[in-house]
Amino acid sequence: MAVRRIESIPMLNHNCINLNNQRVIWKPENLIPSWSNSDIDIVKTVKCIIPFELLTLMISIENQAAHSDEFALYLKGNYKDEVLTVFQEYILPKQKVTGASVDFEEDSPVGFNGVIHRHPGNLTTFSGTDAMHINKNYMFSLLYVNHQIPTGIINIQLQGSTKRVQLALDLVMQYPEVKHNLDLSNIQRSIPTYAVGGRSNFKSMFLNENPTFDDEDTSTEEDRKEFQRMFGQFSNGE
Ligand SMILES: [Zn+2]
């Protein structure tokens, strides 16, 4: 892995004043770091695989018990090779809820390192309270809103540091594969039939006729005039 030191350029603050009392506008080239390593992958999100059963469970609890209130579950997840896999196991702890809050009355058991909570409105982002009291205290945190799980975060320990970084989750729902009584061979891909030769690509493309696969545009001058007449406002005046 090649690490190359490049000419050091002083870091400039956004829109700062330099020594000549001239305003320096933020420009990427003013912010070139001292070290460059093109082999480094920049990670902004972590892939998270969610079992579909978790979504079904949240919908079910919502329908049965929490029509307009928040509620939360403790979850288990495993972070490995830059992917967070959420398991089906869950705990529904004792909790006091309102339309805008959840207060856990039981701690999460050992091994339950994540939380999912519901927003009964349409807010698909974490609130300030969520950030302070939920998202900091578990390895991962998911949000359930309107029969979907749109948002999540993970806290990752930095190597050799007591600090953690918090990254957004790139959520992927894992749906079960339904196999019983499905004759998938009933679904056959239709093979389109194309006119062969004789028509111009140019004309057929714009007249919504079957195109040919000729390599050349065989448009005639007449075709071009016809096109101009029909689509003149979009043409480049060719
Ligand atoms: Zn919340």
pLDDT at 79: 96
Same domain flag for 96 and 206: no
Same domain flag for 119 and 222: no
Same domain flag for 168 and 76: yes
How confident is residue 112, by pLDDT bands cut at 50, 70 and 90? very high
Same domain flag for 167 and 59: yes
Last residue of a domain, one of 133, 158, 174: 174
Same domain flag for 163 and 214: no
Same domain flag for 101 and 212: no
Q: Is 149 helix (H, G, I), strand (E, B) or coil?
A: strand
Give CA–CA dist 57/72, Å, rounded.
11
Measured distance between the N- and C-terminal CA atoms of the chain, rounded to whole angstroms: 51
Give CA–CA dist 75/88, Å, rounded.
8
What is the CA(155)–ligand 1 centre distance, in A?
Answer: 17
> What's the pLDDT tens digit per position in 40-65?
788 889 999 999 999 999 999 999 99
32 or 63, which is more confident: 63
pLDDT at 177: 87
Looking at every residue in the chain, the average pLDDT score rounds to 80
Q: Is 38 left (phi over 0), alpha (psi -120 to 50) or beta?
A: alpha
What is the CA(55)–ligand 1 centre distance, in A?
Answer: 17
Mean pLDDT of 146-150: 96
What CA–CA distances, in Å, run from 150 to 32, 71, 117?
35, 16, 12
Q: Which amino acid is at 192?
A: P
What is the CA(70)–ligand 1 centre distance, in A?
Answer: 8
> What's the pLDDT tens digit per position in 2-27?
444 444 444 444 454 555 566 656 56
pLDDT at 218: 59
Domain that holds residue 208: 201-232
pLDDT at 195: 58
What is the CA(134)–ligand 1 centre distance, in A?
Answer: 8
The pair of three-digit structure tokens given for residue 110, joined into one six-digit string: 């050992």
- Is the residue at 70 inside a domain? yes
- Is the residue at 60 inside a domain? yes
- Is the residue at 6 inside a domain? no
pLDDT-wise least confident of 98-112, 130-144, 153-167, 174-188: 174-188
Residues 6+ apart with CB under 8 A from 112: 74, 75, 76, 89, 91
Give CA–CA dist 46/48, Å, rounded.
6
Largest Cα–Cα distance in the chain? Answer: 80
What is the CA(126)–ligand 1 centre distance, in A?
Answer: 5
pLDDT value at 217 more than 90: no
Query: How many domains does the structure of the chain reveal?
Result: 2
Same domain flag for 117 and 209: no
Same domain flag for 219 and 130: no
What is the CA(114)–ligand 1 centre distance, in A?
Answer: 14
- Is the residue at 180 inside a domain? no
How confident is residue 152, by pLDDT bands cut at 50, 70 and 90? very high
Same domain flag for 75 and 144: yes
pLDDT value at 176 more than 50: yes
Q: Tell the residue number behind the tokens 């950030």, with chain if given.
A: 131
The percentage of the chain sitting over the pLDDT mark of 70, rounded to a whole number, equals 66
Same domain flag for 54 and 164: yes
What is the CA(127)–ligand 1 centre distance, in A?
Answer: 5
Same domain flag for 141 and 210: no
Q: Is the model's pTM score more than 0.75?
A: no
- Is the residue at 31 inside a domain? no
Same domain flag for 60 and 145: yes
